[in-house]
Amino acid sequence: MLIWRALRERGVLGMNDRNGRFVLPLNPRKHYPRVDDKLLTKKLAQERGIPVPALLGVVSHYHELRSVPELLAPHETFVLKPARGSQGNGIIVIVGRDGDLYRRPNGSTVAIAAIQQHISSILSGVFSLRGDWDNCLVEELVIVHPDFASVVTRGVPDIRVIVCNGLPVMAMCRLPTDESNGRANLHQGAMAVGIDMASGRAVHAIHHSATVTAHVDTQYPLAHFRVPHWDDVLSLAARSSEIAGLGYLGVDVVVDARHGPLLLELNARPGLAIQLANDEGLVPRLELAAEMHATEMPWQERCALAKKLFARSGVGAPPEANP
Amino acid sequence: MRSWIVVSALLVLAGCSIFLYKTVGLNYPLRAADVAGTWRAELVVNVTGDDDKRVVIDALLPRDSGYQRLLSEAVRSGPMRFSISEDGQSRQGRWSGNLARSTNLSYQVTFDAFEYRWDLPVAEERDADAYPRRPRSLLDPSPGIQSDDPAIAELVAELDLDPSDKVKLTRDIFAFVSREIGAMRTVGAMDAVSVVREGRGNAMGRANLFCALARHVTLPCIVVPGIPLEDGTYDTLHYWNEVYVGGGWVPVDTVEGLIERIPAKHFALSSGDFDTAVRGENTASLSFRFDVQSELAAFVDVMRRRLTESNNLIDRLSLLFLPLHVQQTLRILLLVPLGALTMSILRSMIGLRTFGTFMPMLIALSLTATGLWWGTAFLFVVVLLALLSRIWIQRFYLLLVARVAFILTLVVILMVSLLLIGDRLDIPTTGLRAFPFVIMTMIVERISVSLEEEGWRNTLSRIVTTLISIYVTYVVVQASVLQTFLLVYPEFLIVILGLLIAVGKYTGYRLTELFRFSELAAPKGA
């Protein structure tokens, strides 16, 4: 009971509360396809001018498998992705070519036939959550922004922003580790760094739900960490809520070395671990967001409001000059 | 805004009102007064007539005896007429009439079962003429009990049975038949002589042989047919004997190896002159079964008798009026909402993550059929082997439906193998048929997906929580008190509806979240 009261006082959002007060009332079921289907998300984003990883091609039918070699021929690097996959399953990353063979991040190589086989699996819905047929996206490979160099040894880090009624309310950065095998998946051992909404600086960090102060692989002190292009990340999140049609949304963003922040995917039921990463409950921020009626505001105003409302005091300035 | 509270409260109130009306207004008993030994049996006869000939069905009925005291009887005759004839130790029911199509006849009886005991005296010498009239009439051979057959005479001579002391005779014949005559599991009529020829026999054959030997040496004896007193459905009978010694009928069961006393394990039909429980004339087809069900309480019977006389609508709507086999189905059906309520509490309030929403509940329900330990063992064997194969075939990247169908087939093969092994090793596998194989297939699929997506550590913890949910739900649903209670007071399903709305609107923390977020609850130093 003591823990219960402490959690209530700190405004920690529980699963039932999230579903009953936010997901169910704010997220109309009819708009779920917009976030569940990455191809649709991408189309909607491009219509609005929201930057996304470039789409190099789509394979939707088995008969298109034959033309896959021509489709891939012009590209040195690319990513194959099931449109309705989850948790990074079924994704194949190609980082280079050795003649006819394609090289993967771990140095192994695959032949075009194996790639065709994998695409055929994606089409048949092997990786799709609902088990239906699926589309295979061929995307441009994201190049991790150099600012992440001190906290990322492998894989691609991403930034999760919770957006409520159009207002970005909380953010965390997920850093892949050796343990997570380069995946930005928290329960596989990735780290989560809570991010100050005003400055993009780290406020707190966890690894397996326990507080840490330095990166588990590189030992880099996380107090110095700051998300590159934070303002653009924030505006990307604010604008993304317009295409989703959902009042309670998780926006996943990657920061590319060449293109800056890109919208990776949207999530209608974002998890609650972000509270542990920020060492702060979501409820007060969500209630504040509900009072603001920000849905109709232009995104610039919403970003400014989010920065003002949710700035973490004492984080605005770096602890010392940037290393 | 808070209209759900009103709906929820109204539903709970409605259910409770009906309950209160029944208990206070109509004086329904509240407690299932736990009188062990009260049973209900229903003989169901399915018969098809043959053209326009007059159909006659005879059935052996139970009577008040040392084994049981009858409390109530009820008959369903369809288009036929029913009558009961009693004659000494024999009590038979007869349905007769014209029957164009097939119909179901039923005879339902509730009774208290007792241990029957009649001790042998130290010794008794008696001539055939010294018996009272009725026991004396049971010295003659009858069909199946060929006490005058040369084979029986030869056996009596071989065993060197001394006809003078009836007590020693009883013990000798008992020792011979129970020890020297092997068991057979075959179903069907078997007479005394063929048991002698085979050297072994089924229950009926051995009882017939005992009887033939006894009668040959002028010991009055009868064969008693009976039905096991265990919840279930039976279409074959058990047979034992009674011999007239010491002025009473001493029970002897050569199959179970019991003499002088027989515990209340069987329900005795009266002995008759035909060798099955039901006999038909002019029938195109005839089959019968006994549905047996223990009553937690004489309570249900008391209620039943009370209810039949009542004209009150609530009384008339009681589920207790339904036929026994329908009630047996209902017992499980009525538990489903209770299991579902348990599951929703475990998930939404405790926060247990399980494989599948209602899978643990369905498994728990099937555990009530298999028994806890064997059920758990079956579950582990099937799921583990199917899971290993599922991981192995992962390499082929089969399409989803084909993949699941593959696992389904594998689960069925495993269940068939277990049934086969169980039959050979005498493991009780009857409940295995109740196992929800589709559910097991889905569990295998979910576990393997989870292994891939969440790693073995998370998967294992989820397997453990799934097992916890199964057992918690099992504890709730296996209580037979609850089954009887819901059968008498089904209005509690309405209460469950109300409670489910309340659980569905619960927005507090789940118990597991208190641990998950405990870091956030720790007092801040800074």
Q: Does A129 touch chain B (CB under 8 A)?
A: no
The total number of residues written for chain B in this structure: 526
Q: Which of B397, B509, B516 sits opposite A209 (nearest CB)?
A: B516
Residues of A with CB below 8 A from B519's CB?
A: 206, 209-211, 276, 279
Which of these, B526, B506, B509, lies nearest to B517 by C-alpha position? B509
Q: CB-CB: which of B397, B452, B523 is closest to A89?
A: B452
Mean pLDDT of A180-204: 90
Q: Cα A28 to the chain's mean position, in Å?
A: 22
Which residues in chain A (160-199) have CB-CB distances under 8 A to chain B? 187-188
Contacts of B516 in chain A (CB under 8 A): 209, 276
Long-range contacts of B31-37 (CB under 8 A, 24+ apart): B31/B299, B32/B296, B32/B297, B32/B299, B32/B300, B32/B481, B32/B484, B32/B485, B33/B297, B33/B298, B33/B299, B34/B296, B34/B297, B35/B112, B35/B297, B35/B298, B35/B299, B37/B112, B37/B113, B37/B114, B37/B264
Task: Write out pLDDT tens, residues A218-237.
Answer: 999 998 999 999 999 999 99
Kindly determine whether residue B520 and residue A280, on different chains, have CB atoms separated by under 8 Å: yes
Q: Are A73 and A67 in contact (CB under 8 A)?
A: no
Question: Residue B449: is it exposed, middle or buried by C-beta count within 10 angstroms (0-12/13-18/19+)?
Answer: middle
Element holding B103 (H helix, E strand): strand B102-113
Interchain proximity A12–B520, CB inside 8 Å:
yes
Q: Is B456 an interface residue toward A (CB < 8 Å)?
A: no
The yes-or-no verdict on residue B31 having pLDDT over 60 is no
* Mean pLDDT, residues B27-42: 65
A50 pLDDT exceeds 90?
yes
Q: What is the pLDDT of residues B356-398, one digit of tens each?
A: 888 888 888 888 877 788 888 888 988 999 999 988 887 777 7
C-alpha distance from B29 to closest chain A C-alpha (Å): 40
Question: What's residue B520's pLDDT?
Answer: 85
Helices A283-292 and A299-310 meet at what angle, rounded to 10? Answer: 140
Q: How far is A17 from chain B (nearest CA, A)?
A: 4
pLDDT tops 60 at residue B525: no
Q: Chain B within 8 Å of A281 (Cβ-Cβ)?
A: yes
User: Which residue of A3, A123, A177, A315 to mutate against B (max B Cβ within 10 Å)?
Assistant: A3
Average pLDDT (A10-19) is 92
Mean pLDDT value across residues B494-523:
89
Bridge partners (DSSP) listed for residue B288: B45
CB-CB neighbors (< 8 A) of B507 in chain A: 14, 16-17, 20-21
Per-residue pLDDT, B34: 41
Enumerate the residues of chain A whose CB falls inside 8 A of the CB of residue B514.
3-4, 7
Nearest CA in chain B to A205: B519
- Grade residue B40 by pLDDT with cuts at 50, 70 and 90: confident
* Inter-chain CB pairs, A–B, below 8 Å: 82
Residue A150 contacts residue A215 (beta carbons within 8 Å): yes
Asked if A93 and A254 count as a contact pair (C-beta separation under 8 A), the reply is no
> For residue A319, what pLDDT is reported?
47
Q: B284: alpha, beta or left, given left = phi > 0 and alpha = psi -120 to 50? A: alpha
A250 and A267 Cβ atoms separated by less than 8 Å: yes
Closest CA to B284 of B95, B80, B51, B44: B51
In the sheet that holds B258-259, the strands lie side by side as: B258-259, B248-253, B238-245, B221-228, B266-268
Please give the Cα distance from B56 to B304 (Å, whole number): 30
Q: What per-residue confidence (pLDDT) applies to A131?
A: 64
Are B50 and B283 a contacting pair, CB within 8 Å?
yes
The predicted structure's pLDDT at residue A28: 92
| pLDDT value of residue B429 | 66
Closest in A7, A16, A124 to B348, CB measured: A16
Does B2 contact A at CB distance below 8 Å? no
User: What is the percent of chain B with per-residue pLDDT over 90, rounded to a whole number?
Assistant: 15
Question: Which tokens is B398 given?
Answer: 């089969």
pLDDT of residue B526: 40
pLDDT digits (tens, 9 = 90+) for A116-165: 888 988 888 777 766 678 899 999 999 999 999 999 888 899 999 999 99
Q: Pick the residue of B4, B445, B513, B515 with the most A CBs within 10 A to test the interface with A by mutation.
A: B513
Search chain B and give the residue with CA nearest A20.
B507
CA distance B479 to chain A (A): 30
Residue pair B399/A126 in contact by the 8 Å Cβ criterion: yes
Closest residue to B513, CB basis, from A14, A121, A125: A14
Put simply, whether A10 touches B (Cβ < 8 Å) is: yes
Residue of A nearest to B520 (CA): A279
Cα–Cα nearest to B191, from B150, B236, B223, B146: B146
B298 pLDDT exceeds 50?
no
Q: What is the pLDDT of residue B484?
A: 76
Whether residue B399 lies within 8 A of chain A, CB to CB, comes out as: yes
Query: pTM of the entire structure?
Result: 0.68
Task: Decide if B274 contacts B280 (C-beta within 8 A).
Answer: no
Please write the tens of the pLDDT for every residue from A21-47. Answer: 999 999 999 999 899 899 999 999 999
Burial of A68 by CB count in 10 Å (0-12 exposed, 13-18 middle, 19+ buried)?
buried
- Tokens 């089959």 correspond to B287
The pLDDT tens digits for B72-102 are 788 888 788 898 888 777 889 999 888 777 8
Cβ contact A279:B520 at 8 Å: yes
Whether the CB-CB separation of B274 and B90 falls below 8 Å is answered with: no
- Rounded (5°) CA angle A118-A121-A122: 90
**Phi, psi (degrees; rounded to nearest 5) at B45:** -115, 125
Identify which of A258, A206, A251, A257 has the alpha carbon closest to the alpha carbon of residue A233: A251
Name the DSSP class of A51: -
The crossing angle, in degrees rounded to 10, of helices B480-488 and B437-478 is: 90
The answer to whether residue B199 neighbours chain A at the CB level (below 8 Å) is no
Mean pLDDT of B193-203: 88
Please state the ipTM of this predicted complex.
Answer: 0.79
Q: Are A205 and A194 in contact (CB under 8 A)?
A: yes
- With beta carbons less than 8 A apart as the criterion, state whether B59 and B45 touch: yes
pLDDT in tens, A159-182: 999 999 999 999 999 999 988 888
Backbone angles phi, psi at B100, to 5 degrees: -80, -45
* Cβ distance of A14 and B509 shorter than 8 Å: yes
Q: For residues B467 and B127, give the distance between their C-alpha atoms in angstroms, rounded to a whole number.
A: 68
